[in-house]
Structure 1
Amino acid sequence: MRIRSLLALAGTATALALTAAGPASAAGGAVLTTGGPGGTAVAVGDTLSAPLATGTSATFYSSAAGTSGVTCTSSQFTATVTSNPAAPGTATESVVAHTFDSSSCTSNVLGVLGVTGIRVDNLPYTATVASDGTLTVSPSSGSTVQTTVKLRTLLGTITCVYQAAGLAGKADNSDNSISFTDQHFTKSSGSSLCFANGYFTAKYAPVTDTGAAVYVN
């Protein structure tokens, strides 16, 4: 079962927009291109998407660099390009979906028997990606980045809600990836079995526009 989810983080994804580690120089070209650095500009209105990088997992752990929490092996984000100016500059995207396949999710938290679902709330989010490789994901005005996690426990299903003011990520043109590392969420509601903090880590690749790999310039 595919459920709208975090990220977001990842997320969401999550998901989400692009940044580049060591971005390419493309004077006169657009921030987001296909066909290579400095290639064809991604059109405003195009949809970008990416699954988890092959062989990786999205994790939502109770501590930074920890190992206790939730792990998912199937997740994807979808974003619509809302502006793509000439480089150097800052492109913007609307993150419209960040999903996790709950059947791919497991938990090693004591007393938790399984993961019923993960959902990213309050979509769409705004993502910005600058030519210097800076990526931010922000909620709508007056809202928050929020993820709802449902866990099956010995006492029944519990719902844990986590919030963050925003997310920061990084992308890499070498594999057209976008990654999030230990993005901090705090519990806003839920059972005492819900961990108080959540740290989201995930790598999505390749980011594509109708099948064509996307680069940041």
Structure 2
Amino acid sequence: MRTRSCLALAVAAAATLALGAMPASASAPGQVAAATPVLTTGGAGGTAVAVGDVLVAPLASGTKATFYASATSTTGVTCGASQFTSRVTDNPAAPGTATESLTGQTFSSCTSNVTGVTSVKSLTVGNLPYGVAVSDAAGLPVTLTAGSAAPIQATAVLNSWFGTITCSYQLSGAFAGNADNVAHSLAFRNEHFVKSGGSGLCPGEGYFSATYGPVADSTQAGSPLVYVN
């Protein structure tokens, strides 16, 4: 009887030591590990980006934002600086689509090579905020959509030989691009706008291209880079 009691105590002690050696994050048998969200920081499968966090991205190093008269043209407006700012509104488990609200997209250091234009006063986007959807599907597609009341809009104010002129453009439907986990970037290529108002000197169409990155979570300490899982 005494031998059995000692044996039972030894088994219990060994079990206690084994449990104590398990990592705190290890799931007990039958439990499901927490799902990885679409957007994380610190690496793929890292820390979840919280709803309400503000994500920011400048133009990728060595690139410019362009607004050209056609998809194959190099005539139009070129900007050396731009900033993309959004707020996360939903970050579900992957696979899925995270959503954001684009609250700011600014442009500066802009020039134009359009005949008769002497300088660029401003290039702005209107009718913010826009909805942003970031999917972890193949190609990491990113889609911008306007609110229900107004379309996505871009307005250029230009100084010309004939005085100040304003050129307004709108995009019908979605504004599409792709994310990249290597450069932590968002790229948009030849997004097509149609002239909606302004001077007869303004081109009838505009094609917007830009690459923003790295995308960082400015709400978190150190502004860590953002990954799409």
Category of TM-score, reference length = shorter chain: 0.7 to 0.9
Q: Please state which structure has a larger fraction of its residues in helix.
A: 2
The match for 2:150 among 140, 143, 150 is 143
- The one-letter code matched in structure 2 to 1:190 is G
Q: What are the within-5 Å matches in structure 2 for residues 5-154 of structure 1?
A: 28-101=35-108, 104-132=109-137, 133-154=140-161
Residue equivalent to 1:170: 178
1:66 offset after TM fit, Å?
1.5
Residue equivalent to 2:27: none
CA distance in 2: counterparts of 1:129 and 1:178, whole angstroms: 10
Q: How many residues align?
A: 189
1:122 offset after TM fit, Å?
0.2
What percent identity do the matched residue pairs reach? 57
- The one-letter code matched in structure 1 to 2:121 is T
- The one-letter code matched in structure 2 to 1:46 is D
Q: Structure 2, unaligned stretches of length 5 or more?
A: 1-33
* Secondary structure of residue in 2 paired with 1:114: strand
- The one-letter code matched in structure 1 to 2:132 is A
- The structure number with the bigger radius of gyration is 2
Residue equivalent to 2:21: none
Q: Please state which structure has a larger fraction of its residues in strand.
A: 1
1:142 offset after TM fit, Å?
3.1
1:65 offset after TM fit, Å?
2.9
Q: Structure 1, unaligned stretches of length 5 or more?
A: 1-26
CA distance in 2: counterparts of 1:65 and 1:177, whole angstroms: 23
TM-score by length of 2: 0.81
Matched, 1:214 2:223: no
1:212 offset after TM fit, Å?
0.7
